[in-house]
């Protein structure tokens, strides 16, 4: 029987679950592999991983791990980033089709044309970009350190920020820079979490904290709600996924409305089991993240696939920007 024929989503019962876990752990041990999972992965993938966290925390772990193989349970640009940082390691993603609509919103050629319009500008790219775009970039960032990265650039230098317009608007607000140009890209999942939906949920739950990912279309609306008094300003928190976990452990609130991809709720409930977490938009599921099924993870370990390759010349040009990213800002809360 091949892994493709094993139906593990949903699991086939307690015994199949235990057999799957045992085989995954044993194969990972034999291959000297570390299993990394992003906070949006399916609960069973998060639970079997060695480390679950946000993009920044996982990049840092990938860069410092002594394992020979990295199995990246996330989307393709994350595995590619691990390969850029560790070219001598084998990096596998359980399903290479797991892409990202945000990373697809700008190409290397489009960035080169944008740079030509702004000679001398510093290029800051969100980690949700292809290796080719990173190779054209001065500093990469994640949602966890985007403000720190832009704040580290001399105030008189123009900045090109890409590709997420909502994260860009958040960075512009926080740094107060008016020489920050923002690419008009978006993530289809986060852009779909809109202001009216958030306003209705917040009005029905006046004592709840709001945890909002800066990629969301509703981030500006949340600050507006705080400004007009619908929500107490201290209850509105714009956070990366790793910082949501840290904040869940710290808050005194009894309920929290969460505006991001729904996989996040699993990690939040584990961090703070007494708090009631609910999604602002329960349909906000990333189909790419969900391609990493238990069967795909097992197949990856059994058959050594899908291996991630980055052209060495592109990786060499991208490496400096990614290394600057992992050096700037505080860890975003991996475990
Ligand atoms: P973070 O984990 O960095 O907050 O990123 C969220 C995301 O959308 C990754 O695709
Ligand atoms: Fe990309 Fe959005 Fe999915 Fe994150 S949630 S991987 S940004 S498509």
Nearest CA owner, ligand 2 atom 5: 286
Residue 333 has what pLDDT?
A: 36
Secondary structure class of 12 (helix, strand, coil): coil
Nearest ligand to the CA atom of 76: 2
Nearest CA owner, ligand 2 atom 3: 286
Nearest ligand to the CA atom of 55: 1
pTM above threshold 0.75: yes
- Topology at the third CATH level for domain 103-188: Rossmann fold (3.40.50)
Peptide bond into 10 cis (omega under 30): yes
**Ligand 1 atom nearest to CA at 54:** 2
Residue with tokens 């945890």: 211
Token pair, residue 308, equals: 């991630």
Q: Work out the number of other CB atoms within 10 angstroms of the CB of residue 25.
A: 14
Mean pLDDT, each 10-residue run in order, the chain (335 residues): 46 77 98 98 97 94 96 98 96 98 98 98 97 98 95 97 96 96 96 90 92 92 82 92 97 97 97 97 97 97 97 98 88 39
* Domain map (residue ranges) of the chain: 3-99+288-309, 103-188, 193-279
Q: Could you say which architecture CATH assigns to the domain 3-99+288-309?
A: 3-Layer(aba) Sandwich (3.40)
Distance between Cα 215 and ligand 1 center (Å):
8
Out of 100, 143, 242, 291, mutate this one to test ligand 2's pocket (max ligand atoms within 8 Å of CB): namely 100
Residue 229 has what pLDDT?
A: 81
Contact between 56 and 144 (Cβ < 8 Å):
yes
Ligand 1 and 267: CB distance under 6 A = no
**Nearest-angstrom CA–CA distance, 293 and 291:** 6
Residue 130 has what pLDDT?
A: 98
Ligand 1 and 215: CB distance under 6 A = yes
Contact between 137 and 124 (Cβ < 8 Å):
yes
Taking only the tens place, the pLDDT of each residue in 20-39 is 999 999 999 999 999 999 99
Contact between 139 and 324 (Cβ < 8 Å):
yes
Distance between Cα 80 and ligand 1 center (Å):
15
Contact between 70 and 92 (Cβ < 8 Å):
yes
Contact between 122 and 160 (Cβ < 8 Å):
yes
- The values of phi and psi at residue 333, to 5°, are 100, 35
**Nearest-angstrom CA–CA distance, 209 and 219:** 14
- Topology at the third CATH level for domain 193-279: Rossmann fold (3.40.50)
Distance between Cα 16 and ligand 2 center (Å):
30
Ligand 1 and 143: CB distance under 6 A = yes
Contact between 141 and 125 (Cβ < 8 Å):
yes
Residue 221 has what pLDDT?
A: 85
* C-alpha separations of 130 from 111, 142, 162, 263 in Å: 11, 14, 12, 23
Residue 224 has what pLDDT?
A: 79
Residue with tokens 């509703």: 218
Peptide bond into 77 cis (omega under 30): no
Residue 33 pairs in a beta bridge with 69
* Ligand 2 lining (C-beta closer than 6 Å): 75, 100-102, 128, 187, 189-190, 261, 286, 288-289
Residue 332 has what pLDDT?
A: 41
Nearest to 263 by CA among 238, 289, 242, 243: 289
Query: 103-188 with 193-279: one CATH topology?
Result: yes
Residue 186 has what pLDDT?
A: 95
Residue 4 has what pLDDT?
A: 44
Residue 12 has what pLDDT?
A: 57
Ligand 1 and 137: CB distance under 6 A = no
Contact between 270 and 244 (Cβ < 8 Å):
no
Residue 335 has what pLDDT?
A: 33
Question: Which residues lie closer than 8 Å to 1 by C-beta, 6 or more apart?
Answer: none
Distance between Cα 327 and ligand 2 center (Å):
23
């Amino acid at each position: 029987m091949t892994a493709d024929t094993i139906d593990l989503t949903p699991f086939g019962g307690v015994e199949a679950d235990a057999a799957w876990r045992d085989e995954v752990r044993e194969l990972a041990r034999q291959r000297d592999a570390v299993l990394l999972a992003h906070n949006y992965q399916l609960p069973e993938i998060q639970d079997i991983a060695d480390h679950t966290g946000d993009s920044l925390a996982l990049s840092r772990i990938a860069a410092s791990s002594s394992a020979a193989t990295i199995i990246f349970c996330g989307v393709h640009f994350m595995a590619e980033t691990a390969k850029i940082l560790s070219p001598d390691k084998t990096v596998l993603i359980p399903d290479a089709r797991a892409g990202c609509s945000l990373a697809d919103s700008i190409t290397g050629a489009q960035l080169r044309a944008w740079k030509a319009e702004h000679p001398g500008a510093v290029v800051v790219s969100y980690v949700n970009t292809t290796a080719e775009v990173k190779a054209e970039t001065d500093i990469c960032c994640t949602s966890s350190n985007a403000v720190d990265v832009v704040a580290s650039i001399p105030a008189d230098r123009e900045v090109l920020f890409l590709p997420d317009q909502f994260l860009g608007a958040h960075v512009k607000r926080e740094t107060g820079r008016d020489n920050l140009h923002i690419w008009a890209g978006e993530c289809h999942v986060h852009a779909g979490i809109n202001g009216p939906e958030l306003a209705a949920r917040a009005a029905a739950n006046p004592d709840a904290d709001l945890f909002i990912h800066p990629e969301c279309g509703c981030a500006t609306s949340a600050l507006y709600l705080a400004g007009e008094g619908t929500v107490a300003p201290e209850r509105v928190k714009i956070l990366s996924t790793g910082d949501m976990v840290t904040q869940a452990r710290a808050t005194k609130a009894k309920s929290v409305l969460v505006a991001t991809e729904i996989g996040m709720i699993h990690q939040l409930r584990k961090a703070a089991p007494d708090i009631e977490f609910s999604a602002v938009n329960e349909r906000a599921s990333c189909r790419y993240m969900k391609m990493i099924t238990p069967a795909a993870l097992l197949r990856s370990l059994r058959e050594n696939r899908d291996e991630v390759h980055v052209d060495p010349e592109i990786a060499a040009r991208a490496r400096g920007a990614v290394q600057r990213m992992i050096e700037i800002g505080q860890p975003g809360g991996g475990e």
